[in-house]
Amino acid sequence: MKKNFFLFFLCLVSFIVSCTKEEVVKNDSFEEQTEVHFFYNGKEYYSKCEIIDDEIYILNEDVRLISEELSRNPQLAAFVKNDKIIYYNTIEELREVNGLFSHEQILNSEEMISTRAWACPDTPLGPGAYTQYTHVHMYENTDYKKLMDVYAARNTSPHKYNIEKRDKLSSFILHASNNSTGNWLLEITLYDLWDWKGLSITIAGEAPELAVPNLKKYPLYPGSSKNWNDEAASFTFY
């Protein structure tokens, strides 16, 4: 009897530990949101949220309907600047409205290379390395931990790359070259598919450095339980 009770106790403990681990993994897949705040088609949207069965439920019906509409767009493009998130129907629309290099210019640029054919050597590099070029340090973990790769630009043209370790990016730092003068815009666009297609997020900020310590803070669309952590497959930067 004691033996049977002991086996039952071990099984119970094992079950509890297993469920706990599973719950931790599940809850770590997204940043818990208590509100959504974004811009779309010239309008500002805001709503409180609740978490129901690990899904984010937007309480305001009008905001929820707009969010559902955006979630069905496979080319949805987000633009982040000064902590604001503005959504556009396509990356072409985003770049035209904000006066950035057009998507066509980026894809057709002679300097654009479809693989990481010109990246900094795979050595332990710090943020100050290769300052003669505009370059981006990419990390597998948040808070700039576990360096994944370093990509550099050899001139002032926008550059594009597919990411070898796709779906691994969690944080990055984009550095202006040490030849830069004045206040000018750094910008990087991440895509969830190779070859600069699919959902995208463009993040912009003034030189000399654009640092994003945690991509979990950016949802794939308003109210999404998924975010840009471990999602990027290709990117462009300037």
74 preceded by cis ω (within 30°)?
A: no
pLDDT value of residue 143: 97
- With H, G, I as helix, E, B as strand and everything else as coil, classify residue 221: coil
Residue 18: CB atoms within 10 A of its CB come to 10
Residue among 167, 166, 172 at smallest CA distance from 139: 172
Phi and psi torsions of 211, nearest 5° = -120, 130
pLDDT value of residue 117: 36
Calpha distance 136→119 (Å, rounded): 10
Distances in whole angstroms, Cα of residue 196 to Cα of each of 115, 118, 189, 199, 226: 12, 18, 9, 9, 20
**pLDDT tens, residue order, the chain (238 aa):** 545 544 444 454 454 444 443 333 333 444 567 899 999 999 999 999 998 888 899 999 999 999 999 999 999 999 999 889 999 999 999 999 998 888 777 776 544 443 343 444 444 444 444 456 788 899 999 999 999 988 887 665 678 888 888 789 999 999 887 655 556 789 999 999 999 999 999 999 988 899 999 999 999 999 999 999 999 999 998 8
As a whole number of Å, the end-to-end CA separation of the chain is 72
Residues in the chain: 238
Domain positions in the chain are 90-237
- 90-237 to CATH, choices 3.40.50.450, 2.40.50.140, 2.60.20.10, 3.30.460.10: 2.60.20.10
pLDDT value of residue 158: 75
pLDDT value of residue 32: 62
pLDDT value of residue 16: 45
pLDDT value of residue 123: 40
What's the predicted TM-score (pTM) here?
Answer: 0.79
pLDDT value of residue 223: 93
Calpha distance 234→238 (Å, rounded): 14
Residue 193 · residue 233 · CB < 8 Å: yes
